[in-house]
Structure 1
Amino acid sequence: MLSTQKNEILIVDDIPTNIKLLHDVLQTENYKVSIAKSGKSAFKKLNKIVPDLILLDIMMPEMNGFDVCEILKQNTRTEHIPIIFMTALTDEVNKVKGLSSGAVDYITKPIHTEEVLARIKVHLALRKTQQKLQNEIAERKQTANELSQTLDELKRTQTQLVHNEKMSSLGRLVAGIAHEINNPVNFIHGNLQHAECYVEDLLGLVSLYQKHILNPPKEILDKMESIDLAYLEKDLVKILTSMSIGTSRICEIVSYLRIFSRLDEAQIKPTNIHEGIDSTLNVLDNRLQRNNDYPNIRVVKDYRPIPAIECYPGQLNQVFMHLLSNAIEAINERDTHRSLSAANADPGMVMISTAVRDDRFMMRVMDNGTGIPENVRSHIFDPFFTTKDVGQGTGMGLAICYKIIAETHRGKIWCEPNPDEPGTQFFLEIPLSLN
């Protein structure tokens, strides 16, 4: 057979006849009874038991029932226990005072057992109902928390899926463009060296003809004059030199694109972080060079000596891209609200600092742009949070940075305002090794 747990009732009274009467009646009704003959004795009892209900006398020596009740209601262990006062005081003032101190009811002395049992049953039933409601509320809170966690996980998964697809497409595009450009540019760049040699030989031959043939035919003289041979000799060399410089720059950009995309480097490997930052800066070079007479954005690099860091280099390059792009956008936004003279007097600047401290790589990206308000700064790493207008961005950039740094690289990333001027500072740190 299943046993039914008895409700326990604590009687707090200093009069033996009242205690005996209540004890006998309650035991007859199958209640478990505990007894305390003073307020202090009740506190000692309550250190060992948590009864379902307390019958509390008001008029007791040393400490009255009002004081005992107030202390019990301030204790998280006993605040939920229903307390019924037992009193011979029948005036309304004491009744109100008793209920105000935290009691749920009162019994008037001399004690009538039927009244006591009726009030006890009512309040035990109410407490049972309250406990049931509290359990249901707790279960619903738990369900709500689980749903919230599931929703957060779905958001993170959605962010990662979109990011993976976006970066995969971007990586393939960058790698494909770099590959397609690389072959013809290398061909042109390599042949320019031969072309320079051939031109020098031809110009040398023309010089010999001029030296040894003092009176060339009129047709040759006319042609020399029409093409301005003297100017052509000088300018042709300059053109070839400029073409060589241009193709060298394209080859350099292709190299930076390959470093930035790093499609073949999906695994952890020792990496030169400074090389990754520089490649990102070169990819963003056209955004640093501004027009409309606004000064170019200056990049100040404070690189301290750091060892090769074991990391996912392609993912870190994505972090550098997001942080630097945000800095450039903040500076451009600032200058759209300033006059040209003000922009020239205080040009845009991005400062990149790196260092190693306590076996961790540290990096700071600081700009003197518009800055980020405090109410926005607390949300910038949330997925899909953005202050941009519709169509100008997904708001995933910094959420992706947080995932790459905090989850993939077991590091930290945070944002602070500039201490001395407008602008923003982003800090990140990761361990030197993930193994």
Structure 2
Amino acid sequence: MTVTPATHSADILIVDDMPDNIRFLSSLLIEQGYRVRKAINGKMALTAIQTIQPDLILLDINLPDMNGYEVCESLKQDEQTQSIPIIFLSALNEALDKVKAFQVGGVDYITKPFQLEEILVRVKHHLTLKMLQNQLQHQNQELQTTLGELRKTQAQLLQKQKMLSLGQLASGMAHEINNSVGFISSNLNPAKQYVQDLLSLIELYQQEYPHPSDTIQAFMEEINLDFLEEDVNQLIGSMQTGTERIQAVILALRIFSRLNESEIKSVDIHEGIKSVLVLLQSRLYPENKPPIRVVETYNELPSITCYASQINQVIFNLLNNAIDAIEAARDRLQAASETPTIWITTTWENPDLVTIKIQDNGIGIPETMQPRLFDPFFTTKAVGKGTGLSLLTSYQIIVEKHQGQLICVSAPNQGAEFKIEIPLKLTTT
């Protein structure tokens, strides 16, 4: 661990316009093993400090160009020099002078004529405090770094466990539902044929026996045979459409999870995007609200080699967040007669990269929050509405796992755009 040099080898700057005082203090401190530099006025002192920062400053109050108080105030206003300990030197021994010295940022006050032991003890004391302060600051930085890594790891584990469970659940559900839907779908056509045969039989009976009994005539009127014949075909057609819809959702789940495929493979990005849109249909077309329009602009793309299920997860996260942002802006959009919209654009302008842009006209993200978007557990949503994991996970997948980029451009009430750049070939180590 790097720390401030030991007190006996510390760098000390003496600022005094009296040569005798400088010679005396310099000789005394050099004998103790300190490195000593000198300045005879305030401007020279500031230049010397900017060149090489000392570990301690002995600063005379009465200087010709700018007094010691002004030099100290200038140093304390600069983040780079504000932590340097300053011991004031002065023949002034009034209480007000000492109070002002501490008010402007001095750590100690030594009056002239100097007492050797007093100077050495005070210098050593403040250098030791400075060294301990630097050590504590460095350890605090290490703890903050460690805490950040722990939070990041915790977020990764939580999201990984969550997505693994979701993927396994999706795969299991897809398998079970597919079996049931397959059974229904395979029986719909025979059922439709059976119904058609029965209707044809009834039609033959009507031709052979045009005058049925009163009982049959009454029952035919009660069930409205003509309507039943017309509607039963529509019912079976609706059932067929429903099973096809369920099969499309199952296919989307399989594409989204890709649990039964190799982890790294060559995939069609558009296929993944479309599967996510299928899974989000209920959010894109909410009940009792205007639907969210999705504008898809897909340019011709090559296949990319990637962790397919993870890329799908990123697309899902970003689209889901876009929907959340639009839901939060419903009132504004309605007042402006603006259609809730998500734009999805894919391009291949760089021969080595594929770009995906997901833009919305939702609530937007304040500029002050944008630097923290990818921090663990940070969320722009209301309390209880978000975990702060989806963007972090997306960033890790795109930037760390795929050596790509994830960039956000946004402003309040102007929506947000997330741009994903993914290399065509994944470089694994």
TM range (shorter): 0.7 to 0.9
Q: Does residue 330 of structure 1 match 2:313?
A: no
Q: Residue 264 of structure 2 is aligned with which of 246, 264, 268?
A: 268
Letter in 2 for 1:134: K
- Further displaced range: 306-315 or 409-418: 409-418
Indicate the SS of the match to 1:415.
strand
**Could you state the TM-score of these two structures normalised by the residue count of structure 2?**
0.75
1:218-237 equivalences under 5 Å are 218-237=214-233
> Match of 1:43?
none
- Asked whether the 8 Å contact 2:41–2:65 carries over to 1, the reply is no
- Asked whether the 8 Å contact 1:10–1:51 carries over to 2, the reply is no
- The percentage of counterpart residues that share the same residue type is 38
Q: Does residue 238 of structure 1 match 2:230?
A: no
Do the aligned partners of residues 418 and 308 (structure 1) sit closer, same or farther apart at CA in structure 2, a change above 3 Å counting? farther
Q: Distance in 1 between matches of 2:420 and 2:59?
A: 60
Q: Does residue 348 of structure 1 match 2:340?
A: yes
> Match of 2:416?
424
1:39-68 deviation digits (Å, cap 9, x = unpaired): xxxxxxxxxxx9723577xxxxxxxx4489
> Match of 2:205?
209
1:76-105 deviation digits (Å, cap 9, x = unpaired): 3275576799xxxxxx96689786779976
Indicate the SS of the match to 1:357.
coil
Do the aligned partners of residues 239 and 93 (structure 1) sit closer, same or farther apart at CA in structure 2, a change above 3 Å counting? closer
RMSD: 4.2
> Match of 2:36?
53
- Asked whether the 8 Å contact 1:55–1:83 carries over to 2, the reply is no
Q: Residue 297 of structure 1 is aligned with which of 292, 295, 300?
A: 292
Do the aligned partners of residues 229 and 397 (structure 1) sit closer, same or farther apart at CA in structure 2, a change above 3 Å counting? same
> Match of 2:103?
none
Q: Distance in 1 between matches of 2:235 and 2:260?
A: 38
Indicate the SS of the match to 2:348.
strand
> Match of 1:255?
251
Letter in 2 for 1:53: V
Q: Distance in 2 between matches of 1:196 and 1:280?
A: 33
> Match of 1:59?
none
1:357-399 deviation digits (Å, cap 9, x = unpaired): 3211211111111111112223222211224344333222212
Q: Distance in 2 between matches of 1:330 and 1:264?
A: 33
1:4-44 deviation digits (Å, cap 9, x = unpaired): x9999999xxxxxx9xx99xx979x9959xxxxxxxxxxxx
Indicate the SS of the match to 2:347.
strand
Indicate the SS of the match to 1:210.
helix
Do the aligned partners of residues 181 and 313 (structure 1) sit closer, same or farther apart at CA in structure 2, a change above 3 Å counting? same
Indicate the SS of the match to 1:141.
helix
Q: Distance in 2 between matches of 1:335 and 1:84?
A: 63
Deviation at 1:189, TM superposition (A): 0.8
- Further displaced range: 143-152 or 357-366: 357-366
Do the aligned partners of residues 104 and 347 (structure 1) sit closer, same or farther apart at CA in structure 2, a change above 3 Å counting? closer
> Match of 1:388?
381
Letter in 1 for 2:324: E
Count of residue pairs the alignment pairs up: 383
> Match of 2:48?
73
Q: Distance in 2 between matches of 1:8 and 1:187?
A: 85
- Indicate the structure (1 or 2) with the bigger Cα radius of gyration: 1
Deviation at 1:274, TM superposition (A): 0.9
Indicate the SS of the match to 1:378.
helix
Indicate the SS of the match to 1:256.
helix
- Asked whether the 8 Å contact 1:82–1:127 carries over to 2, the reply is no
Q: Distance in 2 between matches of 1:7 and 1:252?
A: 73
- Show structure 2 runs of 5+ residues with no match: 1-7, 15-19, 73-86, 92-113
Indicate the SS of the match to 1:350.
strand
Letter in 1 for 2:392: A
1:321-349 deviation digits (Å, cap 9, x = unpaired): 2211111122122114565xx37x31100
1:219-261 deviation digits (Å, cap 9, x = unpaired): 4444433332222222211211111111111111111122222
Deviation at 1:128, TM superposition (A): 4.7
Deviation at 1:415, TM superposition (A): 1.5
1:9-158 equivalences under 5 Å are 31=31, 52-54=35-37, 65-66=40-41, 69-70=44-45, 73-77=48-52, 79=54, 126-158=122-154
- Show structure 1 runs of 5+ residues with no match: 12-17, 33-49, 57-64, 86-91, 108-117
Do the aligned partners of residues 303 and 96 (structure 1) sit closer, same or farther apart at CA in structure 2, a change above 3 Å counting? closer
> Match of 2:307?
312
